[in-house]
Amino acid sequence: MFYEQRMTVPDSPADLRAEYDADLRSVIEQHGPDEVAEATDVAHDTLEALLEGESPDLTLTEAAQILALEDGEPDADEIVTIACEHLLLGMSTAVLDVEAIESHIDIDLEAKEIQQKIEQRSPMSFAEFVHIQYVIADGAP
């Protein structure tokens, strides 16, 4: 699951996102898009896009809301907190600061924005999370 500590990653952020989309798709398939839409802030058409194999725009919170529907998973707020804490832990392990992440990330984020998102002072898209996590795990020893 995406909130777990990653020490290795696949070949690209896109491959990592595909792994996570498959996890989210599994939850949607188990509960059905109508139930998931009712229980989360995720639009029904976004859920349908995930079911069709697309990688739609989601926030980290929305992805957490979907995952939280699984038995045994923490609630969405806790998933987001754990995910961001693991980013910080990974930065320590990989000896990376936000400037280093900025220089290696494939999306347009400045170091200050990265810091704010990791510290949950600014909303984070799921795509941003995946890219940040990829850079951190790819830099881990």
40, 84: one domain: no
Provide the token pair at 98: 């936000």
User: What residues have CB less than 8 Å from 93, skipping those under 6 apart?
Assistant: 7, 140, 141
The chain-wide mean pLDDT, for the chain, equals 96
Neighbours of 15 (CB within 10 A): 12
34, 82: one domain: no
Q: For residue 76, which of 111, 32, 126, 29 has the smallest C-alpha distance?
A: 126
Provide the token pair at 45: 């058409």
Pick from 48, 72, 96: which residue ends a domain? Answer: 72
Pick from 22, 42, 72: which residue ends a domain? Answer: 72
Q: Is the confidence at residue 140, as pLDDT, over 80?
A: no
Can you give the residue range of the structural domain that contains 28?
13-58+66-72
Q: Does residue 8 belong to any structural domain of this protein?
A: no
Cα–Cα distance, 93 to 72 (Å, whole number): 28
46, 87: one domain: no
Q: Does residue 24 belong to any structural domain of this protein?
A: yes
90, 122: one domain: yes
48, 95: one domain: no
pLDDT tens-digit map of 108-133: 999 999 999 999 999 999 999 999 99
Q: For residue 109, which of 133, 131, 93, 137 has the smallest C-alpha distance?
A: 131
Provide the token pair at 126: 């799921």
Q: How many structural domains is the chain composed of?
A: 2
Cα–Cα distance, 46 to 37 (Å, whole number): 9
pLDDT tens-digit map of 97-110: 999 999 999 999 99
